[in-house]
């Protein structure tokens, strides 16, 4: 039984651990996805605004086909670490200016970079307008390395948080399991002793929960068993004046003890009445076994048979003596069994 309780605690720990792992893993995936989408969406919005600003900056240079003006217009963007790529084309698609930050791979397919995310970068391609006329195109690329560092940091923090939560849940689960298993183990041991007939048990568990209610029930059961044991001991010693009552209608043992006491009291009363009647000379007085059942009735019938075996020869002896008194000396006593012949 103790091994079963140990298994219960282990199952609780494993179940909680699996539940926490699944929950934290799902939460980590969802959080990471939502964070990535939120950062990407914010960066895309910022890139759209920046691209429009860059397009306005190079519009004059493209309109007058001044490459130096275009280069000067994008110089301020190049100084910022966020920008990884800037490409300016005139209205005929000719490359006017290209900037690629060192450390990033070469790019050749501008159509592929129209917009969206490619590796660690995000691109946006917008038309350059002057008086509502398109004078060229500009493609702006920004680095996502900062975003990815934030995501990795968040993922790392999430991992440590997951481990901390798992450890916390394990500790809490062990504490809860012990709070349940220890009193249950103690009550189980008490139940085993009660099953062996040892009523000298003390339930020292006092709690305001289901375990406490179980402990209270065991205390009441032990008290009731002690009362019945004391009642049985008094009856065994011959004290039939003790009070034997059932606790409720379903108290099988209580009803049995009360019935036993009534049967013993009835048998004792029948014996006392018969003995008293015999003492007063009523040799025909007998017990009434029909009032009882089983061994009690058999015992009273046995007493009656014993009285018959003793008293009938007395009656026969009286009859023989009367015959002798009337002069009939031919009458003889029948052969009596055992020592009755003396």
Q: What is the pLDDT of residue 341?
A: 52
Residue 316 in contact with residue 334, Cβ under 8 Å? Answer: yes
C-alpha span between 149 and 157 (Å, rounded): 12
Residue with tokens 């009534």: 262
**Digit-coded pLDDT (tens) for 313-342:** 777 777 778 877 887 777 666 666 655 554
Domain map (residue ranges) of the chain: 2-167, 199-239, 242-341
With a threshold of 0.85, does the pTM exceed it? no
| 2 band by pLDDT with thresholds 50, 70 and 90 | very low
**Digit-coded pLDDT (tens) for 10-52:** 777 777 778 877 887 888 788 888 888 888 888 889 989 999 9
Given this structure, which CATH class describes domain 242-341? Answer: mainly alpha
- How much of the chain, in percent, has pLDDT values that exceed 90? 18
Closest CA relative to residue 218, chosen from 235, 232, 206, 233: 206
Do the two domains 2-167 and 242-341 of this chain adopt the same fold? Answer: no
Q: Where are the alpha helices (H) located in the chain, listed in sequence order?
A: 2-63, 67-78, 145-195, 210-236, 252-279, 294-325
Closest CA relative to residue 22, chosen from 156, 151, 155, 165: 165
At 77, list the tokens.
Answer: 């963007």
At 143, list the tokens.
Answer: 């680095």
Residue 59 in contact with residue 88, Cβ under 8 Å? Answer: no
At 140, list the tokens.
Answer: 């702006």
C-alpha span between 103 and 120 (Å, rounded): 12
**Digit-coded pLDDT (tens) for 251-298:** 888 888 888 888 999 999 999 999 999 888 888 899 999 988 999 899
Q: Report whether pLDDT(117) > 50.
A: yes
Residue 44 in contact with residue 144, Cβ under 8 Å? Answer: no
Q: What is the pLDDT of residue 43?
A: 87
**Digit-coded pLDDT (tens) for 154-187:** 888 888 888 888 888 888 877 887 888 788 888 8
Provide the mean pLDDT of the chain: 84
**What fold is seen in the domain 2-167?**
Beta-Lactamase (3.30.450)
C-alpha span between 136 and 87 (Å, rounded): 11
Q: What is the pLDDT of residue 7?
A: 65
User: Cβ contacts of residue 166 below 8 Å, gap of 6+?
Assistant: 17, 20, 21, 24
Q: What is the pLDDT of residue 1?
A: 47
User: Cβ contacts of residue 98 below 8 Å, gap of 6+?
Assistant: 86, 87, 88
Q: Which of 73-87, 115-129, 297-311 has the lowest mean pLDDT?
A: 115-129
pLDDT, mean of residues 242-253: 83
């Amino acid at each position: 039984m103790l091994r079963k309780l140990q298994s219960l605690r282990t199952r609780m720990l494993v179940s909680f651990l699996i539940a926490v792992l699944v929950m934290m893993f799902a939460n980590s995936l969802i959080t990471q996805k939502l964070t990535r989408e939120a950062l990407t969406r914010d960066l895309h919005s910022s890139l759209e605004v920046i691209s429009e600003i860059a397009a306005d900056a190079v519009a004059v240079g493209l309109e007058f086909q001044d490459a130096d003006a275009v280069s000067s217009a994008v110089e301020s963007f190049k100084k910022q670490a966020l920008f990884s790529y800037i490409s300016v084309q005139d209205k005929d698609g000719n490359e006017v200016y290209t900037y690629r930050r060192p450390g990033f791979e070469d790019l050749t397919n501008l159509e592929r970079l129209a917009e969206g995310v490619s590796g660690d970068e995000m691109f946006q391609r917008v038309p350059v307008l002057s008086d509502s006329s398109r004078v060229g195109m500009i493609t702006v690329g920004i680095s996502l390395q900062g975003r990815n560092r934030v995501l990795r940091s968040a993922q790392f923090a999430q991992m440590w948080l997951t481990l901390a939560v798992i450890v916390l849940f394990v500790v809490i689960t062990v504490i809860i399991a012990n709070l349940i298993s220890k009193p249950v183990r103690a009550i189980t041991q008490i139940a085993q002793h009660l099953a062996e007939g040892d009523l000298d048990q003390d339930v020292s568990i006092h709690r305001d929960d289901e375990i406490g209610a179980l402990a209270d029930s065991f205390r009441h059961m032990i008290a009731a068993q002690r009362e019945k044991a004391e009642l049985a001991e008094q009856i065994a010693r011959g004290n039939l004046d003790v009070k034997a009552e059932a606790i409720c209608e379903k108290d099988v043992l209580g009803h049995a003890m009360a019935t036993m006491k009534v049967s013993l009291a009835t048998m004792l009363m029948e014996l006392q009445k018969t003995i008293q009647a015999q003492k007063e000379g009523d040799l025909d007085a007998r017990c009434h076994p029909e009032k009882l059942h089983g061994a009690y009735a058999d015992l009273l019938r046995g007493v009656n048979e014993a009285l018959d075996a003793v008293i009938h020869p007395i009656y026969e002896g009286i009859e023989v003596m009367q015959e002798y008194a009337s002069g009939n000396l031919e009458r003889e006593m029948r052969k009596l069994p055992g020592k009755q012949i003396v």
